[in-house]
Chains A and B, each alone.
Chain A
Amino acid sequence: MTSHVLKNSVPAKRAAGSLRRKPGAVARAADTMVGRGLIQMIAVAAFFAAWEVAVRAGWLTEFLVGAPSGIWRVFLGSMRDGSLPVDTWYTLIEAILGFVIGTALGSLAGLGLWYSVFVARLVEPFIVAINSVPKIALAPIIILWFGTGFVSKVALAVSLTALVALIAAYQAARDADSDLQALLASMGATKNRIFRSVIVPSTLPAIIGMFRINIGFALVGAVVGEFISSQRGLGHLIYTASSLYDLNTVWVGLFVLMFVGFVLYHLIDFAERRILPWRQVNTAGQVQV
């Protein structure tokens, strides 16, 4: 495209011949997997270096913000004594169980509502009402009901993810192409058949998109549950450390949480590519603006 324009306009020809480089040439050259990764790593390293320098120079107080060197020391120590892996494991399992149960229940209920417009209209105001309650506010009751252990964290994660899943799945089922449904009906398909052959596959992209949001919510549920009362988990680690002004430990918990969320997000990306091969975007054909 660009070369075509250049060839045909005299001022552009002159500009190309001048010393001025074409804008964006550097960005284009760097825009490869390796190039981007390098830039991202440099940015992260610079950030931590600046942080460390600022603490050592006395511009920031380690007591209030922590320091990368201290964070690293805490990280190594808690890895060695095995407490960090255990805490991570607890939170991870709580979040994953909460995610799976909440998302499965919600998605099934949301898709199920496709079967009956009557039932869907009937329950809609209730869903909206329940959804408008900040679920975190339920945490104290959930702890009362399910105890201070593992189950209450899972339950909190379920409460955070189920309605998101329900609403997303129901919306997607309602938006499924009615012409495809009519086509199958004209072939004599039953409602169950239409559900299996149109509703389920056509809602999958939206449902998998919702997985990404729900993974985050499930982690919120697990961590907040641990904040309120727990003996284990990254939320417990962060909460107890911050009450002791041990900022380096707080950061260790936060960074591990970030890492866990990041990995889970990419697992979903990976699953999406496997489940939805028909939806792969061909980036080679992308228009350069």
Chain B
Amino acid sequence: MTAPKVQLSLRGIRKSFPGKAGPVPVLDGLNFDIYERDFVSIIGPSGCGKTTVFNVIAGLLEPDGGSMMFRGEVVPGLRGRVGYMMQKDLLFPWRTVLQNVMLGLEMKGVQQGEALDTAREYLSTFGLSGFENAYPRTLSGGMRQRTALIRTLIMDPDILLLDEPFSALDYQTRLYLEGVLLDAVETFNKTVILVTHDIDEAVALSKRVVVLGNRPTKVKAVHEIGLDARSPVGARSDPRFAEYFHTLCGELDIQTRTRAA
């Protein structure tokens, strides 16, 4: 296997937020690389600054120090190059499904007619034909999140930034959408950075998992996940799944075996 090409690298990213007793350091020199067509999950204890990492990559927050390289070029952030998806679907309630999906295209200045065709095509690919004119509040949580995923993909971003996108959904819907995501990433050749607190999800979906430590946060470890199955259910049935799961739990100091009572 040839050495993977680095797409995005973070070097010494530092960020602190003002607190009552002076600045609170959150990110304390973060280093990691994302490869082309990578699927990286970022896990860590709660409050370790996962979302801050995200906002820095997305270019919504300026780091206090450190640098970011995108395909060999130093960049301040990836504004306009990333597709951003969060636990909240962030659909615009005053826009129909079709108008929501077209949002990114409008932003890029794509012509109305062309945007309309593309949006219709994506909606039918993801099984949302017939819901073009529905408003988000009339849809189920799974359908809303699927719409959000389409809106993210249709912009053809270089990197998908997913911040716990499925954590508000029930388990079945989540498994289904994880599958949709994996297929889409495969079809559209996307790089994905997934922030999650769900170790199970991280193992099942990722090629690599970046473990963050406690605040002030550094990268604690990077684990390669070598599961062959490329479906969320298949991955979870792989005999090595449990092994990875336990290793990562260990990294986060989660007790996975109860001591003899």
B94–A183 CB distance below 8 A? no
**CB of B88 closer than 8 Å to a CB of A:** yes
Q: A278-B94, A278-B137 are in contact. Are A184 and B82 (CB under 8 A)?
A: no
B16 shortest CB reach to chain A, Å? 20
A203 shortest CB reach to chain B, Å? 11
Q: A201-B92, A278-B94 are in contact. Are A186 and B104 (CB under 8 A)?
A: no
Collect the chain B residues with CB atoms within 8 Å of residue A279's CB: 93-94
- Chain B residue with minimal CB distance to A189? B107
A188 to B60, CA, bound (A): 10
Partner of A276, one of B60, B80, B94: B94
**CB of A180 closer than 8 Å to a CB of B:** yes
Question: What 1/0 mask marks residues of chain B from 77 to 115 whose CB sits below 8 Å from any chain A CB?
Answer: 001111010101010111110000001100100000000
B137–A187 CB distance below 8 A? no
**CB of B58 closer than 8 Å to a CB of A:** yes
Q: Interface majority SS on A: helix, strand, loop or mixed?
A: helix
B151 shortest CB reach to chain A, Å? 9
A193 to B88, CA, bound (A): 22
**CB of A179 closer than 8 Å to a CB of B:** yes
Q: A202-B94, A278-B93, A278-B137 are in contact. Are A179 and B88 (CB under 8 A)?
A: yes
A residues near B (Cβ < 8 Å) are 177, 179-180, 182-189, 193, 197-198, 201-202, 204, 276-279
Query: In the complex, given contacts A185-B79, A186-B79, A187-B155, what are 14 additional A-B residue pairs having Cβ atoms less than 8 angstroms apart?
Result: A179-B86, A182-B60, A183-B86, A184-B103, A184-B107, A185-B59, A186-B82, A187-B104, A198-B92, A277-B135, A278-B95, A278-B96, A279-B93, A279-B94
| Chain A to chain B contacts (Cβ below 8 Å), 14 pairs | A179-B86, A180-B92, A182-B55, A182-B60, A184-B103, A185-B79, A187-B80, A198-B92, A201-B92, A201-B94, A204-B94, A278-B93, A278-B95, A278-B137
